[in-house]
Chain A
């Protein structure tokens, strides 16, 4: 596409089918402790 470049992102709709294992880190267990952000986390399904 000439005018649009799409970054490689995990499709959230697709993740509905194979997500939810819960092995990922709990968000607040790192540096913030005072806000909620989840998008920086790594999916750890494969690492189980």
Chain B
């Protein structure tokens, strides 16, 4: 098993110690020493490095001593000792702490690429009633154990098509959170069509996070993000998003776009978002069957690798100009990030995180909604399919054989179960295309951290 991952990017030599999570920025000599370390003797390394780099024997020996010191500290070539805990993890009792509340299975846009099939999730159009939503919130509290922070995402379809219920549910949640010792954190994911002053005021007061869907350039956005009548949404939503973000007063938001085979040059779309004044951004690869005409191809992948590097450089340049922006997948929290348990167990779908449909059905996550094989129960009876929950408990960074030797396993926790299911038919499968992009993103994200540290090597 590879204990380290080393790579060169943007002029930096980077060594990641997989199990400890330590990141080392090294010079050319140390890079070669570290890469030779596991399979060569000290004498062989000294000979190889002195010949290659023209440095002294003493110099190489010092570097080797440093490597050994780091190894002794457990931050280089550290052994992965987590695996024995995974069985325990899969038998753990879990509480529910997050919910994706599908308040509207209907939409006022008709985006062809939507995994939710234009908001209907392959079912009937429906709006969640206040009573169902209220029961869902009660269910969440009842099943959250001692967990203090509870997250609820108003999702759809388009949740603002049921805005009155959203408001009433937030009001209800606020009225009961204190007596139960809980704190609700709300997110609203919206296509923007129905944003008005009332929505802005409410969202900026009550929503911890707002996710605003825009694909970037007008022609890119309007290729898919159209009304039922075929009108592009760009001109309608952009001024609304700008007004909302301006009024948000620094509270968290994300502008989230999707890129497809038709715009693998997605940094142009990022640039458009920046030009429009947005600076908390996310662009996601489309999720769809490979037979769809907009599906990303193997050829696209090479383009995307270059785009991710270009994006990292855009961020460095903007940071230097005093105009930084964030990109969701490049946000790494190296020193205050998640513990090993979180890194192994991942997103919590089907266990700590459930999706609730307008009629109160429970699914492992929003991407499984409508797939009756994964219907777990409802908000009145609770989870009745323990077998499904147990299957998801077993989904983790060590449950897939492909992950055993992957350096990125503790960054993705084995990947998205829905992506795995959609591409292989098994929640414990591997969506390799997604893995390849993910690894590239993490390499870029770590490189950005190294750049940020302004090291003198």
Contacts and interface: CB of A to CB of B under 8 A. Distances in A.
Given A11-B22, A11-B74, A26 B151 contact: yes
Interface string B302-340: 000000000000000000000000001101111111111
Interface string A9-46: 11111011011101111111111111111111111110
A11 B24 contact: no
Interface residues of A, number: 44
Tell me the dominant secondary structure on chain B's binding face.
Answer: mixed
B23 A3 contact: no
B341 A34 contact: no
A44 B98 CA distance: 15
B343 A12 contact: yes
Contact of B284 (A6, A7, A18, A32): A32
A21 to B, nearest CB: 8
A8 B77 CA distance: 17
Nearest to A7: B23
Nearest to B155: A33
Tell me the dominant secondary structure on chain A's binding face.
Answer: loop
A24 B30 CA distance: 36
Interface residues of B, number: 89
A12 B331 CA distance: 18
B377 interface: no
Contact of B328 (A11, A26, A40): A40
Interface in B87-136: 95, 97-98, 100, 115
A6 B23 contact: yes
Interface of A: 1-13, 15-16, 18-20, 22-45, 47-48
Interface of B: 19-27, 29-30, 33, 62-63, 66-67, 69-70, 74-75, 78, 81-82, 85, 95, 97-98, 100, 115, 147-149, 151, 153, 185, 187, 189, 209, 211, 254, 256, 282, 284-285, 287, 328-329, 331-343, 346-349, 352-353, 365-367, 410-419, 434, 438, 441-442, 445, 449-450, 453, 455, 457
The 5 closest A-B CB pairs, nearest first, are A19-B339, A26-B98, A15-B339, A3-B30, A31-B254
26 contacts: A1-B66, A2-B62, A3-B26, A3-B27, A4-B24, A4-B25, A4-B70, A7-B22, A12-B340, A15-B340, A22-B147, A25-B149, A27-B347, A28-B100, A29-B100, A29-B153, A30-B328, A31-B254, A34-B285, A34-B287, A38-B411, A39-B338, A40-B331, A43-B339, A43-B342, A48-B148
